[in-house]
Structures are given as C-alpha cells and as structure tokens.
Amino acid sequence: MKIRLFALLLAALLLAGGCAERPTASSQAEETSSAQTSAAPSQAPSQDASSALESEASDASEGAESAASQTGDASSGGESTTVSANGVTQGALPESPRAEDSYFDDAVFIGDSVSLKLNLYVTKNRQNNPTLLGKAQFLTAGSMGSGNALQPVSEDSIHPLYNGEKMSLADSVAASGAKKVYIMLGMNDLAVYGVDGAVANMETLLNGILEKTPDAKIFIETATPLVKAKSIETNKLNNTNVHLYNEKLAELCAKNGWYLVDISSAVQDSEGNLNASYCSDPDDMGIHFTDEGCKVWIDYLYTHTPQ
C-alpha cells in the first residue's frame, strides 16, 4: 500500500514539473516577436548615417550643378555664340543670310574719308540701282575722327552736313530718324590719341548719340588697314595699331552690347594689310578704296546682320 502511494506521489511530481517547463502560447508569441524585432534591419538610419546621406546628396547635387555649368560654358564658347546679359552676341557678327535692301532703310553710316568713298559709290550706283543699301543715309567728312567730332560745332569744326546744316553727330543722327547707326572712325584718331585714347573717344561719342537716340542699335565697323608699303611701325598709324584698335573695339562692343561688323577682315590680305587691289591711293595715304573694294564692303554688310 505504501509502495503504491509512493508511486502515485512520484508520478504527480513528475507531471507538475513537465507542465512548468512548457511555455504558454502567449509567451511563445512574445519570444517570436522579440526575435523578429532584433533580427530585422533598422528602418530609420541613425543620426550619423542620416547626416552622411545628406552630405552625399548635397555633394551629388553640387556635382550635377557644376557639370551643368561646365556644359553650358562649353556650349556657349566662341565669338559668335557667347551672349552678354542683354542677349546681344559678343564679338564680330557671323555670316548670315543676305539681307533685303529694306533692312538698311533706317540706317545711317558715319565715317571719315574712307566712308566718304562708300557714300560716293552708293550715290553713283543708285542711279541704276535705287535700292542699293535701301534708304540708308550718310554722315561722312574727310579728316573726321571720334575725337574732333566731340568738339563744339563751329565754322572750322569737322562735322558733316545734314540737310545743308553743320551739326553735332548726336543731333544729326537724331534728325535723320535712323535706328541703326553704322560707324567707322579711328584712322584720324590713332595718330593723335593712340589706341586707348581713340577707343575712349569712340565710346564717348556713341554714348552721346544714344542720349538723343536711345533706341538706336549701334554697329561699329572695324577700321580697315593700310596697304603694306604705308604701314610704317615708327608712326602711330600703322597696321599693328589698327588691328589692336579693332581688338579694343570688340571689347567695347562686348561691354556695351553693341554689334561689331568686321569689315577689315573682308578687305585685308593674308598678312593683315589692305589688299592692294582694293586701294585707290597706294602711292599716297594707302587707305582709300577702289570701286571693287566698295563692292566687297557692301556685300559684307548685306551678309552680316543680326538674326
């Protein structure tokens, strides 16, 4: 009897111990959830990792902006494609489709004796071709420069006549009603003022014209060179200075948003001198044009206009 009771008691103790060791369903779920949470990767980066990502994103953004900037710079390089703030192309006007005669209807050409020859050529040829350079007008005078054109008008001053009256260029341009101002001056300035002085005079003169005709478009024509025999380096008026002057005029146009019409390039030879076949006075001053030279000049004007 005692043996049987002892056996039953032992069985009860063993059964109680087994039930205590078996986990409940609730505890199993909690342990599983805890294990899954520990094993899963973090969904939000730490503060250090977040800062690193922001830094990388910023670097990538800056790199993209830099690449875009470099691409823009590359695509806008060159004289004919570099654009200033007001949208005007810097440097010499590139070749363009031939303009209609009417394009020059509201143009005025200002210049010294070199441009006076152009004036005479156009006037003569309009007898057979009335629309040559449209209705363009001319304000030209021998020995005129941007320096003496700034002097007060007087009986002895060098100013062209407009409708028979001598007046300042600012007044005559305004009176003409022109909206396109083509100007070629400098040959009579270089010998007196040097390159920098000639450029400064040109800028002052054009700003004065714009004060009275603010909506005018300015076209600076490059000064044409001398024939080789007349380009003497010991004189201020030589082709080295003419070409340097033209380079400075290009800078002036870029600075002010004016157009540069590179007539010089159309009439010079391979050495940068005036082509001898275009010069009417090779034994004298060596700067004035033949009719053939005027034809080349006019053709260049027609094929180099803003687009």
pLDDT band at residue 43 under the 50/70/90 scheme: very low
In angstroms, the CA 108 to CA 87 distance is 23
Multiple choice CATH, 101-302, 3.30.365.10, 3.40.50.1110, 3.30.930.10, 3.30.1490.110: 3.40.50.1110
Number of DSSP helices (H) and strands (E) in the chain, helices first: 9, 7
pLDDT digits (tens, 9 = 90+) for 20-40: 333 333 333 333 333 333 333
Q: Which residue has the tokens 């060791």?
A: 21
In three-state secondary structure terms, 111 is strand
| C-beta separation of 246 from 223 below 8 A | yes
At residue 203, φ and ψ (nearest 5 deg) are -65, -45
| C-beta separation of 163 from 146 below 8 A | no
**pLDDT value at residue 249:** 97
Closest CA to 303 of 275, 262, 253, 264: 262
Residue 69 has pLDDT above 80, yes or no: no
Mean pLDDT rounded to a whole number for the chain: 80
* Stated pTM of the model: 0.72
In angstroms, the CA 153 to CA 162 distance is 13
Residue 156 has pLDDT above 50, yes or no: yes
Cα angle, residue 220 at apex, residues 217 and 223 outer, rounded to 5°: 165
**pLDDT value at residue 208:** 99
**pLDDT value at residue 39:** 33
**Burial annotation 216-248 (CB, 10 A radius, 16+ → b, else e):** bbbbbbbbbbbbbebbeeeebbbbebbbbbbeb
Instruction: Enumerate residues 6+ apart whose C-beta is below 8 A from 231.
Output: 225, 238, 239, 240, 273, 286
**pLDDT value at residue 105:** 99
**pLDDT value at residue 227:** 98
Structure tokens at 164: 């028979």
For the ranges 45-49, 99-103, 278-282, the lowest mean pLDDT is seen at: 45-49
Average pLDDT over residues 171-190: 98
Residue 48 has pLDDT above 70, yes or no: no
Conformational region of residue 133, where left means phi above 0, alpha means psi within -120 to 50, and beta covers everything else: left
Regarding predicted confidence, which is higher, 293 or 191?
293
Q: Which residue has the tokens 């990388």?
A: 56
Closest CA to 189 of 204, 206, 207, 201: 201
Q: Which residue has the tokens 């009771």?
A: 5
Instruction: Enumerate residues 6+ apart whose C-beta is below 8 A from 28.
Output: none
